[in-house]
Structure 1
Amino acid sequence: MSKTNTLDLIKGLGSSIINEHLNQENLKISIDAIHQQFQKATDISGYDSKMEHLAAIPASKGKALGLNHAAQCLLDYHRTEKFVKAILIAIRNKREANPDKTVSIFYAGCGPYAPLFTLVAPHFKPEEVQFELLEINSSSVTAAQKLIEHLNLKAYLRNIHEADAITFQIEEPREFDILISETLDCMLFRECYVPILANLLPQFHEEITVIPQNVQIDLSFLTSSINEENNQEEKYGSIMNVREVLKDNALEQLLPSHVMNKKVPLAPYDMSRFERILIDTRVHVLNDIWLERGSSSLTIPFEIPLEQPFNFEFINFDYFIDPEIELKCGVE
């Protein structure tokens, strides 16, 4: 298929997403067709067996996805749909507010397909939107450049940097209108979303639109597995809110190794009723656009069995940046 036909697929996908004309089956068909063309242009499928394509990339804090896993993000269909819709809306809102200004976007962690650039830029003119990309993996940078050139989208690209987003210093950051950093995983494990935002956000002006806007992790108590019909769920609420964590650590020049502790009191609950607790990741993409439980690989619910009798006063949740980026759970 020619690059013209690929761009037609991309434009058709974006138009259907923004007008909400796609059901899940057609969404999958459209993205699979685009993936086939991206694979041909880059020689990267996301399912290669080469060791260098499988390995995660060490960052100054945590790890960045390996090339294969980064490419597979495109095929997380609901996730791609929500993020593309959010970015199209954000650009249009910026254009409506200031029609004479080119919308400038900084995209941290673009991967080999740079999907939130390659699926968005064709809907605008180069004088309407400009992107600057950042990626830590040199192989991903090479692949992204190859794909952008293949699609004839170089006019939309101001620059692409091979660097660690956790330490990168942006030239003239106040020129940017939108920051994209889709560098996260379920329960904010391993990937670098928190330290990346801690580094980049303070560099931009306060009116910057961030996509995703926020990530929060919620806790529920379950009488049985969520897959069982007779399960009853009692929701506690949020145990971690990334924006609040960043606000609490805003005065730190560098994030400490331990950035969050949440102590959940158990006295209000009859813990003898519950067999499990459930950890939910919720991604606030933009405005009323959310990725909720089970709709994406980012929001897979995580169940932890409880041994009865469960005679503890608190469940503690701690989020660490060092030595590994992870959420830990304990009792007292």
Structure 2
Amino acid sequence: MNDTTNDELARLRAIARAILATGSDLHAAIGPVQDLRQLAERLSTMDRSVQRNICDGESWLPSGLAVSPLTAALCAHEVLRSAAFIQGASRAMEQAAKRCRGRPVRVLYAGCGPFAFLLLPLLALWSTERATFTMLDIHADALAPARRLVADLGLDAGVTSWIQADAATIRLDPAALPDVIVSETMSAALKREPQVSIARNLLAQAPGALMVPASVRVDCALSERPDATTVWRDGVRLGQVFALDAAAATAWDAEVDGALPAATFTIPADIAPLTTLRLFTDITVFDGIGLTGGDCSLNTPRYLPGKPLFAAGQKVRFYYRLGADPGLDYAVLPG
């Protein structure tokens, strides 16, 4: 490595240590995560000019929307989200290392994007004797700049494979299954993007792997139907609608009519003016590291499509719709 590479790698390692030193205090990691983003953007060969359309290069897959490489790069601006996933991935790798009996931890990053952003700090800190990484993305225009960035930092020996493939359908090498799977391929309420299908596919093949995020929980709450004069207020939580975690993903042997089961609720009495439902997303990244409330866009409350009105006593059955436009949907049961 030349002096410039050594200097950049030393800076990356210092940033990585600063992020991890903040522990579960995600707000304390804001500065170091911003430093990480600036380093990645400065060293990246990716075209991020403002003239580009953010949607150029996105792909609609049979399992949902794979966002464009540019959109993936912009996710690095969500600092609490990035801090949580870096911390969670680090804790998952440390836990996996205890089970690996001396061999390197195998880490699969499904949807690595153009910066391999969530694992770049850990790639810098973990030697090849301790961990090896596989970087996977559906888009060649994401893999190429990520690979160049890693190489320019002198970290390419830590990556055993760069794979262009659909993480929702890829077949893993049974002789080298991952110990840790990192995939942040979702939006709020698990809508539109393929996180559920990716988790189902990968965990079915590597059921012993630790998944990051460990759990994505979607709750519903009674809420006012908004209009131009409505002041936003907290609603009344009814409970969990749907959860994605390793236990659920491996329990879903097969979907029924292209859907996965979710909860059924009875709308309580005296609900006015709380006459519609919203979905809230809480994420356990790993081992006490979580995202909730207004932490990031993944926690944005979502109304049901059309903001339907409900009446007291109605039974609402939820289900998770799979396919090219995945997401939670519902049916009002006859009564």
- TM-score band w.r.t. shorter chain: 0.7 to 0.9
| Contact 2:293–2:299 (CA under 8 A) maintained in structure 1 | yes
Structure 1 residues 21 and 235, CA, compared in 2 at 3 Å: closer, same or farther? closer
Aligned equivalents of 1:308, 1:171: Cα separation in 2: 49
SS at match of 2:119: helix
Partner residue in 2 for 1:302: 302
Counterpart mapping for 1:203-282 below 5 A? 203-204=205-206, 206-222=207-223, 231=233, 233-243=235-245, 245-250=248-253, 252=254, 257-266=258-267, 268-282=268-282
Partner residue in 1 for 2:75: 73
Q: CA deviation at 1:233?
A: 3.6
Structure 1 residues 33 and 275, CA, compared in 2 at 3 Å: closer, same or farther? same
Structure 1 residues 97 and 75, CA, compared in 2 at 3 Å: closer, same or farther? same
Report the residue type matching 1:220 in the other structure: A
Q: CA deviation at 1:265?
A: 0.9
SS at match of 2:317: strand
| Contact 1:180–1:212 (CA under 8 A) maintained in structure 2 | yes
Structure 1 residues 69 and 221, CA, compared in 2 at 3 Å: closer, same or farther? same
Partner residue in 1 for 2:321: 320
Counterpart mapping for 1:61-100 below 5 A? 61-98=63-100, 100=102
Partner residue in 1 for 2:17: 15
Report the residue type matching 1:249 in the other structure: W
| Contact 2:9–2:124 (CA under 8 A) maintained in structure 1 | yes
Structure 1 residues 78 and 279, CA, compared in 2 at 3 Å: closer, same or farther? same
User: Mean Cα displacement is larger for which, 301-310 or 240-249?
Assistant: 301-310
Partner residue in 2 for 1:36: 38
Q: Which deviations, in whole Å up to 9, do the C-alpha atoms of 1:88-131 show, x marking residues without a partner? A: 12222333455622111111110110112312111121111100
Q: CA deviation at 1:310?
A: 3.2
Percent of aligned pairs with the same residue? 20
Aligned equivalents of 1:279, 1:130: Cα separation in 2: 37
Partner residue in 1 for 2:293: 293
SS at match of 1:237: strand
SS at match of 2:118: helix
| Contact 1:166–1:199 (CA under 8 A) maintained in structure 2 | yes
| Contact 2:269–2:312 (CA under 8 A) maintained in structure 1 | no
Aligned equivalents of 1:183, 1:231: Cα separation in 2: 30
Structure 1 residues 47 and 209, CA, compared in 2 at 3 Å: closer, same or farther? farther
Q: Which deviations, in whole Å up to 9, do the C-alpha atoms of 1:18-64 show, x marking residues without a partner? A: 22279777634433333233223323365643348634212232121
Report the residue type matching 2:66 in the other structure: A
Partner residue in 1 for 2:112: 110
Aligned equivalents of 2:262, 2:292: Cα separation in 1: 24
SS at match of 1:81: helix
Aligned equivalents of 2:256, 2:171: Cα separation in 1: 16
Of 200, 203, 214, which aligns to 1:198? Answer: 200
Structure 1 residues 240 and 179, CA, compared in 2 at 3 Å: closer, same or farther? same
Counterpart mapping for 1:117-196 below 5 A? 117-172=119-174, 175-196=177-198
Aligned equivalents of 2:86, 2:219: Cα separation in 1: 25
Structure 1 residues 78 and 288, CA, compared in 2 at 3 Å: closer, same or farther? same
Aligned equivalents of 2:283, 2:327: Cα separation in 1: 17
Report the residue type matching 2:103 in the other structure: K
Aligned equivalents of 1:45, 1:229: Cα separation in 2: 41
Aligned equivalents of 2:54, 2:87: Cα separation in 1: 32
Structure 1 residues 299 and 91, CA, compared in 2 at 3 Å: closer, same or farther? same
Structure 1 residues 230 and 298, CA, compared in 2 at 3 Å: closer, same or farther? closer
Aligned equivalents of 1:245, 1:175: Cα separation in 2: 20
User: Mean Cα displacement is larger for which, 234-243 or 13-22?
Assistant: 13-22
